[in-house]
Amino acid sequence: MGPFAVAGTAATAVVLAHGLAWSAFALVALPRPGALPPARRPWRLAVIVPAHDEEAMLGGTLASLRAAAYDPAPEIIVVADNCGDGTATVAREHGATVLERFDPERRGKSYALSFALAALAERAEPPEAVCFVDADTTVAPTFFAAVTARLDGGAEAVQVHYEAAAGDSPLSQLRHLAFLLVHHARPLGMARLGLGTGLKGNGMAFRWHLIRDGFEGSGITEDAAMTLALAKRGVAVAFEPRAWVRGHMASSYAGARVQDERWEGGRFGLAREALAAAAAALSKGHPATAAAALDVATLPLTLLGALAAAGAVLVLVGGGPAWLAAAAPISLATYAAVGLAGARVSPRELAALAEAPRFIAHKLRTYANLATRRGPAGWERTTRE
């Protein structure tokens, strides 16, 4: 094979590896989850809600947490982090414990989480487990019951299904479908195969001993970094599909730019560490944590689609195997189709796929920006529309 065919074959092989693995996970995830047995005993829980200028959204989040009945009632702790609005006031009005933090040099979610954990560590009787919920989130009525059932069953870290709220804009409706693939089909399939999954940043819970010294994940994608920190400790994250948290996404492409550059840039920056963590876990005989680390290193679907297209051209021009050029995009399409089928997406929801071309162009611009700037400069708040 000539150099074009070699390059194309390598590119399409990477795509095919992703597509086949994800399609397998989506197939395993097709059956509906069964009932979850209740926990054998009550757990002492705390919920940490990091909030930066979230007075408009926070009240709904706190009301949702109160409505998710659990006995004993979890303590809700709001970290009003570098706020210039009434976030702390709203939190107090809803009966939450409020911690105010002012440190403009250290901005970002991981600092807020560690600040709250440090306060809990000073108590004579800290909680048995801590949940983390974003300030723009609605939680399922079963949230605490499902989390404690998994903890009671032996899990040390739990991630529930993190949904994107399907708003009114075509972008948010398409993002809702994308989240179903990444946050439901893949982790559910991995869990059913006995593998760990990656943390998603919202709707997480940890036994106290894992986080009593602070939140290990740092940077602009603290959830991915925490996934790797746990993998290095041999801790696999358990996925719980029978409870959900629903977060608000940016409804405009201007707001989505901030979100996507933070998410994608942070994960790209962790790719080498993730591969090393996966290799180390495999060498120790821990396939569950290796899978979670590899999940951090996987490429996003849009980038894989672009790679499949470019690779196919190179393969065909260079005289490489035509079957490979066709198999790579087919594997991605299979994953998307099976994953959305498993999520029981309605035909009406599928209409959001009409927005895909514009979204793909947006994501490709995001990757180009990251390539030229070598990642985002730092944490930046997503604009609310």
Nearest to 339 by CA among 16, 30, 19: 30
Give per-residue pLDDT as tens, 272-325. 999 999 999 999 999 999 999 999 999 999 999 999 999 888 888 877 788 888
Peptide bond into 37 cis (omega under 30): no
- Report yes or no on 196 lying in a domain: yes
**Structure confidence at residue 269 (pLDDT):** 86
- Report yes or no on 118 lying in a domain: yes
Give per-residue pLDDT as tens, 214-240. 887 665 678 999 999 999 999 999 999
Provide the domain limits for residue 71. Answer: 45-255
**Structure confidence at residue 382 (pLDDT):** 55
- Report yes or no on 102 lying in a domain: yes
The total number of structural domains in the chain stands at 1
Q: Put residue 56 in one of left, alpha, beta given phi > 0 → left and psi -120 to 50 → alpha.
A: alpha
Q: What is the CATH number of the domain that holds 151?
A: 3.90.550.10
- Report yes or no on 335 lying in a domain: no
- Report yes or no on 75 lying in a domain: yes
**Structure confidence at residue 217 (pLDDT):** 65
**Structure confidence at residue 187 (pLDDT):** 97
Q: Is the Cβ–Cβ distance between 56 and 139 less than 8 Å?
A: no
**Structure confidence at residue 268 (pLDDT):** 85
**Structure confidence at residue 76 (pLDDT):** 97
How does DSSP classify residue 53?
S
**Structure confidence at residue 379 (pLDDT):** 47
Name residue, tokens 């065919």. 5
pTM of the model: 0.91
Residues of the chain with pLDDT under 50: 375-379
- Report yes or no on 166 lying in a domain: yes
**CA 217 – CA 107 distance, rounded (Å):** 14
- Report yes or no on 263 lying in a domain: no
Q: Which parts of the chain fold into alpha helices (H)?
A: 3-28, 55-67, 87-93, 109-121, 143-152, 170-180, 186-192, 208-211, 222-232, 253-283, 287-297, 301-318, 322-342, 347-350, 356-373
- Report yes or no on 349 lying in a domain: no
